[in-house]
Amino acid sequence: MILNFINGQYREGRGGRTFDDINPVDGSLVARVSEAAREDVDDAVRAARAALAGPWASLKLAQRCDLLYAVAAEIDRRAEDFISAEVADTGKPRSLAAHLDIPRGAANFRVFADAVRDVPTEAFTTHAPDGKPALNYALRRPKGVIAVICPWNLPLLLMTWKVGPALACGNTVVVKPSEETPATAALLGEVMNSVGVPHGVYNVVHGLGPESAGEFLSTHPDIDAITFTGETRTGAAIIKAAGAGIKPVSMELGGKNAAVVFADADLDVTIAGLTRSVFENTGQVCLGTERVYVQRGVFDEVVQRLAEAASRLKPGRPGDRETNFGPLISHEHQRKVLNYYGLAREEGATVVCGGGVPETGAALQGGAWIEPTIWTGLPHGSRVASEEIFGPCCVVIPFDKEAEALQMANDSRYGLAASVYTQNIDRVHSFAAALQVGIVWVNTWFLRDLRTAFGGSKASGIGREGGVHSLEFYTELSNVCIKLNGAEQ
């Protein structure tokens, strides 16, 4: 049984309700999860509020940062436990969890412990009407109790991306992990206890969204701010709930990200980048590429080579050495993606590769498997080229002129990320500046410096995370103005 973690203790939900945590590799039961009742969410928020005013607040900054370093070290020490839990929940290849999800989950605590030690404020000298000097300076204080509502695609990584800076700034948190991937958030409670993080600083409540832990948490009157990563419609519902209490929100939402390939691109680099951005984590990455615009002179070669790369993706059990492609998170999500695969055919797509469910053998037939898929022959305005699918698929569309590519790349309700492949340095700077997205990669993908701004525009979110940008959300600035008794000027 996966339990809620409230005030340093694991406990069952008061309502006695549970839901199943299903392994998407073969449909087997990973564990039953205890669903938090409204009273459990109340208890978690109360515990966080008490810790905020008590033992957590009494720690000096250096002590708090040392604890976060200890959390990171303990995640590293227990890496096998976290990898196993993440793989069981998500079905992703073990190599991916071991090299990305879990190390980054630990690194997020170190990065923000370092960032908060050096975060700047501001100071100004001015003069009162009588000519006496006045000093203005800013102080940072924690925002309070933070609701952290997390997605299922990179469970530990994206949860600690929020919990790390929140705790570094002196806040306390109540985490609602996705019902699809509850294990690592719960396991992190053991780490918090073992290194001595005060009880109530980190809390976890399990459940679904409406009429469950997600709604109870996002509408709770004693939550001071809400941070969410996930689907845009869910984000809109949380924003509406937060608006009733005038609570600040940080939202990293959906995307329909474009890659633009110019004829002068290094195609070896391009295909390597596209293979990752289209197919990694079975396409279940908010930053992934679903629209690929290719200059006509290299269009056929790019399509052919990308299809060859897709053919080398091997589904299988996460621990098998040859496995480099996992299932989708659930059968529900599989149905959604397959609906888009059918829609692509209805819209007249040419299916270059994929388009269905792979043969995985009897042992894995209960899993949520899907084929990596590439389409051509669709117009830019088609639904498959416009709506977020969140699967291992892309539509490849030719262009002739740079202006045409820019217009299509920007013609989206989303604005999270884009990739550009070219060797023309002048084009790099002008094209990147004109893209209406929060993140632009040039001749690469998913290369991250965790100090840089992360987030999207338009329907892809509100606010920025990373480095000082996260600290701005998790702190309140207070200005102190002191009139000095200096000599008149």
Other beta carbons within 10 Å of 38? 20
pLDDT (tens digit per residue) in 218-235: 999 999 999 999 999 999
177 and 218 inside one domain: yes
389 and 377 inside one domain: yes
For the segment 438-456, the average pLDDT, to the nearest whole number, is 96
190 is catalytic: no
Percent of the chain's residues with pLDDT above 70? 99
Helices then strands (H, E): number in the chain? Answer: 16, 22
236 and 339 inside one domain: no
**How far is Cα 413 from Cα 421, in angstroms, rounded to an integer?**
23
Per the CB < 8 A criterion, the answer to whether 229 and 206 are in contact is no
Residue 212 lies in a domain: yes
Which one of the listed residues 65, 286, 393, 394 is annotated catalytic? 286
For residue 488, pLDDT over 70 is answered with no
241 and 261 inside one domain: no
For residue 489, pLDDT over 50 is answered with no
pLDDT at 475: 97
| Beta-bridge partner residues of 313 | none
Query: Is pTM, for the whole model, over 0.75?
Result: yes
H helices of 196-330, where?
A: 213-218, 232-244, 267-279, 299-311
pLDDT (tens digit per residue) in 279-290: 999 999 999 999
3-state secondary structure (DSSP) of residue 112: helix
Residue 312 lies in a domain: yes
Question: At a CB cut-off of 8 Å and minimum separation 6, what does 163 contact?
Answer: 108, 148, 173, 175, 202
178 and 71 inside one domain: yes
249 and 265 inside one domain: no
Domain, as residue range, for 117: 4-253+460-479
Which one of the listed residues 74, 179, 252, 371 is annotated catalytic? 252
CA nearest 218: which of 252, 245, 197?
245
25 and 161 inside one domain: yes
| Beta-bridge partner residues of 439 | 417
For residue 457, pLDDT over 90 is answered with yes
3-state secondary structure (DSSP) of residue 23: coil
252 is catalytic: yes
CATH of the domain at 201: 3.40.605.10
Residue 102 lies in a domain: yes
pLDDT (tens digit per residue) in 466-482: 999 999 999 999 999 99
Residue 447 lies in a domain: no
**How far is Cα 456 from Cα 230, in angstroms, rounded to an integer?**
12
287 and 395 inside one domain: yes
pLDDT (tens digit per residue) in 243-276: 888 999 999 999 999 999 999 999 999 999 999 9
332 and 241 inside one domain: no
For the segment 20-43, the average pLDDT, to the nearest whole number, is 98
Proportion of the chain in helix, strand, coil states, percent, rounded to 5: 40, 20, 35
Residue 147 lies in a domain: yes
Residue 449 lies in a domain: no
For the segment 37-45, the average pLDDT, to the nearest whole number, is 98
177 and 68 inside one domain: yes
201 and 322 inside one domain: no
Number of compact structural domains in the chain: 2
